[in-house]
Every structure is written in C-alpha cells, then in structure tokens.
Structure 1
Amino acid sequence: IAMITRQFKDLLEKEGVKAIECKGKTFDPACHEAVMREESGDQPPNTVVEELQKGYMMKDRVVRPSMVKVAVKEQ
C-alpha cells in the first residue's frame, strides 16, 4: 500500500499538483479558508497558526483551499 501511495503522489506531482504551504505565513483568502481564530501575543495578526486540512494547487489554480487557524490580536 505504501508503494501505491508513493506512486500516486509522484503522479500528482508530475501533473503539477502540489500542497499549499501555509503554517507561519500570512493568511491569504485566495488559498486559505479560516475556520478558527486564536488570540496570540507571540504571532502577528492574520498569521496562520495551524493547518487543520491540507490544501492543494494544480499549476496556478487552487484545487482545495487549506483550512487553517488564524492568529488574532489579544484583547
């Protein structure tokens, strides 16, 4: 099963499908979907704190946006 999974991932990469890297980056509504917010004093506002579900792009188009938790300013 591991070999089949690896071959499938290799095929997707060859076709231009790649995972969206988002942890620690600024929230971008074009490729991220904010599903949670977290008050944070050590992270700047609108920074992705945690990735809850991986997102994928095919060439320059978003196939599935990443579901993320975003930092907000402490109150």
Structure 2
Amino acid sequence: AKNLGIGMVFQHFSLFEALTAAENIALSLDDGSPISTIAAKARALSYSYGLPLDPQSLVGDLSVGERQRIEIIRCLLQTPQL
C-alpha cells in the first residue's frame, strides 16, 4: 500500500512507550536517515499541519492525543498521496 501512496493511521497505537517519538517514527521508515534528520522532519511537518510534536519526548509520558499525533506524523512522513 505504501508504494501506491496509501497511508493508514490505526485507532490502536503501535508505539513503544520506552522510545521517543522520533525513534518510534524511525522504526516505520525505510530510508535509513539519521534519527536527528527524522526528528527535524517530524517537528517541521507536525507544526506545518498544526499538530505540534516534540520528537524527543518519551512516548510513555505523552497523552493519548499526543500519541495520536505521532501516528499521524509517521504516516505523513511516508509521503502518502493526499
């Protein structure tokens, strides 16, 4: 589906609570970018969509809404066709 430009944000989170937001996002990307690059892209994209996200925050410390933001930003970073 990813190759077709389709992204999915699932209702049930698939995040590791002991990792940061950026680390969780990096797990789903196949480009091998450094974590600092992924964090910068995630921060910029989150603010451009009005979903501010601190990529360095630990998922275990985040609210449900903030965790949903990670899922959305992770999907958007996979460049779906909008």
TM-score by length of structure 1 reads 0.26
Structure with greater proportional strand content: 1
- Which structure has the bigger radius of gyration? 1
Whose RCO is larger (CA < 8 A, sep 6+)?
Answer: 2
Structure with greater proportional helix content: 2
